[in-house]
Structure 1
Amino acid sequence: MAYRLLSGLLITLIFSISSWAEEIPLNLSHPDQYTVLKGDTLWNIAGKFLNHPWQWPELWRHNNQIENPNLIYPGDTIYFSVVNGKPQLSLARNEQPQLPAGSPCILKEEDIKNGRTDFAVSENGKLLPCIREITGKQAIKLVPAEAIAKYLTSPKVVGKNELDTAPYVIGFAGEHLIAGTGDKIYVRSITRPKSLSYTIYRAGDTYVSPVSGEILGYEAKYIADSTLQQAGDPATLAVTKSGSEIVIGDRIMVNSEEDVALNYFPRPPAHNIKGNIISVLGGVSQIGQYNVVVIDKGTADGLLPGHELDIYKRGNIVSDAYSAVKTDAVRLPDEIAGTLMVFRPFERISYALIMKAGQAIHVLDKVQIP
């Protein structure tokens, strides 16, 4: 699960407090303690203590007296301290009140899973009432999963030939002009099917490098899911789920199971990467925290799920009225505007989640290694 950020990543710290200031910069306004609230993510909690939340494990002190210390729950308290010249973070668990000791029967969740059969009975052999104990707390997640869930499998990025050569919708059963869930569609041509499960796509944006003008990929927008009923030319498919109305010309691709990363461990890329935000998904015009953007770097550039990049707002070009050169202009320095995390890289572009936005973010803003 995504919230298992800390597991197996503890590091023995050997630097002095002055070295830490350079190696792991602390948030100058960090609190001495913070109590976790419902809706928090591990990322935003780490940001309260650190300039770079991905360095959290290096300050984490494992408390062996706490069951599952890698999981953090609402109500738990994180403490900041300096021990032997080294800053560290530790956890105090918010224990739930215990049920009365005199309760005749306490039925735990694991008892139900294990098929418990022994229960308390009265003197005359009647079954006594049982108190069912339910653990309602859920551990906080690393990132807000709901912000990226719909982008984990669709849309996707393909090459031009993948769309142009894919089978396409040629007609509908029942003389419909469009189709949706429950309808039958006719497709050219699926004569040698490789699967019974197909996804219907429509051509979307063309992603272009703002530097070279080169085409980096094509967006395939998700339209619907379908199952093959009869192969042929045309083939017959039944629509099982639709996100939009299906029209003539929509393309069909095998519904292949992609490897979707859910266990994100934010960290910087291993080598220098500089790129640009080239698009924003979700139909939004203003880019802010937890929006999903497209950047012009991908697996071919070494990007992997979890890689963190800083976002820089491009400096404006201003006229210099005092320069000896009549038409002189100066580009102002780029300013850091936020942080993003790659969660779904393709070959030459990637989908990334805006984790932090200190100011307005725009298409064509730069991204680079922290």
Structure 2
Amino acid sequence: MRGLLYGVVGACLMLAGTVNAAERADRLKLNEDHPSEYVVVKGDTLWDISGRFLQTPWRWPDVWEVNPQIDNPHLIYPGDQIYLTWVDGQPRLNLRRGIRKLTPQVRVQPLVQPVPAIPLRDIASFLNDNLVTEDDVLQAAPYVIGGRNESIIAGAGDRVYARGMLLDEAVDQQTLYRPSREYTHPVTGEFLGYELYKVADVSVASIDADIVTLDLRKTREEVRTRDRLLPSQSERIQSVFQPQPGPELKDGVIIDVLGGVAKIGQFDAVALSFGAYEGVEPGHVFAIYKKGEAVKDPVNGEIITLPAERAGELMVFKAFERVSYGLVLNATNVISVGDELRAP
């Protein structure tokens, strides 16, 4: 009986130790030099503010969403004061609203904008102007065959003609896109889609058989023959993000860097080898692992690949069917195309 009692007590202690270890693993870790309070200034982001306190700044919903003082963490303004407290052994960020003086007079001034989740200026063009589509959609889209007076290049205010059937005849406002690159998976070789960038906003003036007459309303570049006509994207551009761990993926890698830079660093936008088909959504966070270098064993001459090492984190801000765009929010090493992506 005594042996049985000791066994039960030992099992309980082991279970408690396992639970405590799990709690410690899930406990949010603070930076060693974290402040006790911080006053928000113009230009801050939620990621920046959390990064002053937390080693994993993308977990700001864990310290804010259970806090009744911060009912909406996306509505924090310059001048507000963030201060640190502890609740049940976990850090919590609390909020004191900044002083806003009111005077009984009429004045006109721009509305104060809340602090964004991430630096939107670094992704604005990719949110609005880039599109990744499948091959059958691109091939079915009408294409520009020329302009008035036999011109092959046109700008805002001009009229051009496209050939083909509209993908959505109910939409009068259409967009001309130009294919820029083809994405294939570097590991599997699978075709992932064509990236297009917006050339012009157009209005459909008339349709005669398979000839579509288009009036150019706003152009980013000169319209040329072969530019493709697609319905304008009507969904609202997402600018508020709720970070959460991304799913476990097989062969998830960075496949391209947007914006024409060679090496990838903080606040660079990148294309990723997965999308909505794999369950990825805007707000998903992934850890970046730099590929291990290949070295020669000095004893037997064998080529050995060193283990991959963590090099930063990124967050998905736009997801297409098989491709996503992500923004690198932390980089501890040089990041390159082909580096692995894992759940954080």
1:343 Cα deviation after fit: 1.2
Task: Please give the alpha-carbon distance, in whole angstroms, between the structure 1 residues aligned to 2:84 and 2:76.
Answer: 15
Matched residue, 2:283: 306
TM-superposition CA deviations, 1:149-204 (whole Å, max 9, x none):
22124221111122222111111102323111111101113489332222111222
Shift in alpha-carbon separation, 1:18–1:31, aligned structure 2, 3 A: farther
Structure 2 residue 293 is the aligned partner of structure 1 residue 316: yes
Structure 2 residue 59 is the aligned partner of structure 1 residue 55: yes
Q: Any residues of structure 2 matched to 1:239-254 within 5 Å, and which?
A: 239-254=216-231
Structure 2 residue 82 is the aligned partner of structure 1 residue 146: no
Structure 2 residue 243 is the aligned partner of structure 1 residue 238: no
Matched residue, 1:285: 262
Matched residue, 2:241: 264
Structure 2 residue 79 is the aligned partner of structure 1 residue 75: yes
Q: Which of these residues, 174, 188, 203, is aligned with residue 149 of structure 2?
A: 174
Structure 2 residue 324 is the aligned partner of structure 1 residue 350: yes
Q: Is the 8 A contact 2:67 2:92 kept in 1?
A: no
Matched residue, 1:163: 138
Matched residue, 2:11: none
Higher helix share: 2
Q: TM-score, normalised by structure 2?
A: 0.84
Task: Please give the alpha-carbon distance, in whole angstroms, between the structure 2 residues aligned to 1:27 and 1:62.
Answer: 21
Matched residue, 2:338: 364
Runs (5+) with no aligned partner, structure 1: 1-14, 100-105, 108-130
Matched residue, 2:173: 197
Shift in alpha-carbon separation, 1:138–1:260, aligned structure 2, 3 A: closer
Task: Please give the alpha-carbon distance, in whole angstroms, between the structure 2 residues aligned to 1:252 and 1:194.
Answer: 14
1:310 Cα deviation after fit: 0.7
Matched residue, 2:199: 223
Shift in alpha-carbon separation, 1:329–1:265, aligned structure 2, 3 A: same
SS in 2 for 1:367: strand
Structure 2 residue 43 is the aligned partner of structure 1 residue 39: yes
Shift in alpha-carbon separation, 1:67–1:219, aligned structure 2, 3 A: closer
Amino acid at match of 1:344: K
Task: Please give the alpha-carbon distance, in whole angstroms, between the structure 2 residues aligned to 1:79 and 1:243.
Answer: 45
Instruction: Quote the RMSD (CA, aligned, Å).
Output: 2.7
Task: Please give the alpha-carbon distance, in whole angstroms, between the structure 2 residues aligned to 1:68 and 1:279.
Answer: 34
Matched residue, 1:12: none
TM-superposition CA deviations, 1:212-261 (whole Å, max 9, x none):
11111111221111111110142211111111111112111222413543
Matched residue, 1:331: 305
Task: Please give the alpha-carbon distance, in whole angstroms, between the structure 1 residues aligned to 2:128 and 2:73.
Answer: 32
SS in 2 for 1:244: coil
Q: Is the 8 A contact 1:153 1:258 kept in 2?
A: no
Task: Please give the alpha-carbon distance, in whole angstroms, between the structure 2 residues aligned to 1:183 and 1:287.
Answer: 39
Task: Please give the alpha-carbon distance, in whole angstroms, between the structure 2 residues aligned to 1:253 and 1:156.
Answer: 10
Q: Any residues of structure 2 matched to 1:86-165 within 5 Å, and which?
A: 86-97=90-101, 106-107=104-105, 132=107, 137-165=112-140
Q: Is the 8 A contact 2:271 2:323 kept in 1?
A: yes
What is the identity percentage for the equivalent residue pairs of Structure 1 and Structure 2? 40
SS in 1 for 2:179: strand
Task: Please give the alpha-carbon distance, in whole angstroms, between the structure 2 residues aligned to 1:227 and 1:163.
Answer: 20
Q: Is the 8 A contact 2:148 2:160 kept in 1?
A: yes
Structure 2 residue 4 is the aligned partner of structure 1 residue 30: no
